[in-house]
Amino acid sequence: MAGVGPNLECRMYEAKYPEVDMAVMIQVKYIAELGAYVSLIEYNNIEGMILLSELSKRRIRSVNSLIKVGRIEPVMVLRVDKDKGYIDLSKRRVSEEDIANCEERYNKSKLVHSIMRHVAETVSIDLEDLYVRIAWPLYRKYGHAFEAFKTVVTDPDSVLDQLTYQVKTTGPDGKEVTEVLPAVTPEIKDALIKIVRRRMTPHPLKIRADIELKCFHFDGVLHIKDAMRRAEAAGTKDCPVKIKLVAPPLYVLTTQTLDKDQGISTLSKAIVACTEEIERHNGKLTVKDAPRTVSERDDKLFQDQLEKLRQDNEERGGDDDSEDEDETGMGDVDVENAGFDV
């Protein structure tokens, strides 16, 4: 018969119950006549209730339009009866600021919880014991264990080697003795470092901007090339800028960086440099989409778009008549096929 594994259920925070006037993340379980019964996700799914009168500031015409079974969202704590285990909550009293703060805290806590649960399962220890030894002390010291784990990625010893916990034992004389032990054993430390580094090592963000670049000057293609060089020169070692032709006169500027604000700022400077250079030769730069982060899905759609354009160009086989070129001027010359290294 297989042995019983470790208990992997535990609340995220040291306090068993939330404080009054605190925003918490809940999941709706079912809706009754008096209100909605929910589980408090951060507190090991203990039950709470939102009265119908606390669902909305406006007159309620349809409960289902305000709250749905299975939905996860922040609400405000109104009352906590620790003796009876009653928790009254409100949806209508939670502000936009409360929602933002709650979601940020919850997303960090959810990642910490996932890491702790994985470690507990790996080393076969109860999850609450692991929280008592590691996570809750880190919450107290760093404000949030997430912040401590960010340091663990690069300097685990400074965070983990300082943690201790107390064990009460009976001495030879029969008296109770309190012994202070390292909270993190070599086995736990090895598992925790591996999982934290895998889950929390930052990945570069891709920042992108879409522009139109035209120049009707006699040497327009050369001036576009110079403007593109100016744009790329605005990049840095940590935030290099690349510019690529999509289809005349549309270009995209991209960079990859760990710092979103730095990436957006760098692309903005690149656009300014490119604009200054092309306008010196009576050209024009138009920003179609300002610098912003793009997801892997966005990037794949963009690559698919490029591939479709390449196929369309191959099918046309260079049979476009000259009238189109006259309408758009030198800004429509295909820089990629004009011998330029872009």
pLDDT 10s digits, 147-156: 999 999 999 9
Residue 331 — pLDDT band, cuts 50, 70, 90? very low
**Backbone CA torsion sign across 188, 189, 192, 195:** negative
Residue 298 — pLDDT band, cuts 50, 70, 90? confident
pLDDT of residue 7: 95
Q: How many CB atoms lie within 10 A of CB 132?
A: 15
CATH ID of 205-337, from 3.20.20.70, 3.40.50.10490, 3.20.20.140, 3.30.70.1130: 3.30.70.1130
Gap between the Cα atoms of 272 and 234, Å rounded: 9
pLDDT of residue 131: 97
Q: Which residue, chain included where needed, has tokens 């809940």?
A: 26
On whether the CB atoms of residues 60 and 66 are closer than 8 A, the answer is yes
pTM over 0.85: no
Residue 62 — pLDDT band, cuts 50, 70, 90? low
Q: Does domain 23-94 have CATH number 2.40.50.140?
A: yes
The 10s digit of each residue's pLDDT in 84-142 is: 889 999 999 999 999 999 999 999 999 999 999 999 999 999 999 999 999 999 999 99
**Position with higher pLDDT, 51 vs 217:** 51
pLDDT of residue 318: 52
Gap between the Cα atoms of 223 and 213, Å rounded: 10
CATH architecture entry for 101-200? Orthogonal Bundle (1.10)
Give the range among 88-92, 224-228, 333-337 with minimum mean pLDDT. 333-337
Gap between the Cα atoms of 169 and 280, Å rounded: 82
Does 205-337 match 23-94 at the fold level? no
Residue 61 — pLDDT band, cuts 50, 70, 90? low
On whether the CB atoms of residues 13 and 131 are closer than 8 A, the answer is no
Gap between the Cα atoms of 96 and 84, Å rounded: 31
Task: List the chain domain ranges.
Answer: 23-94, 101-200, 205-337
Beta strands in the chain (DSSP E): 23-31, 35-40, 46-51, 72-81, 86-90, 164-170, 176-182, 205-214, 242-247, 250-257, 284-294
pLDDT of residue 292: 93
The 10s digit of each residue's pLDDT in 104-119 is: 999 999 999 999 999 9
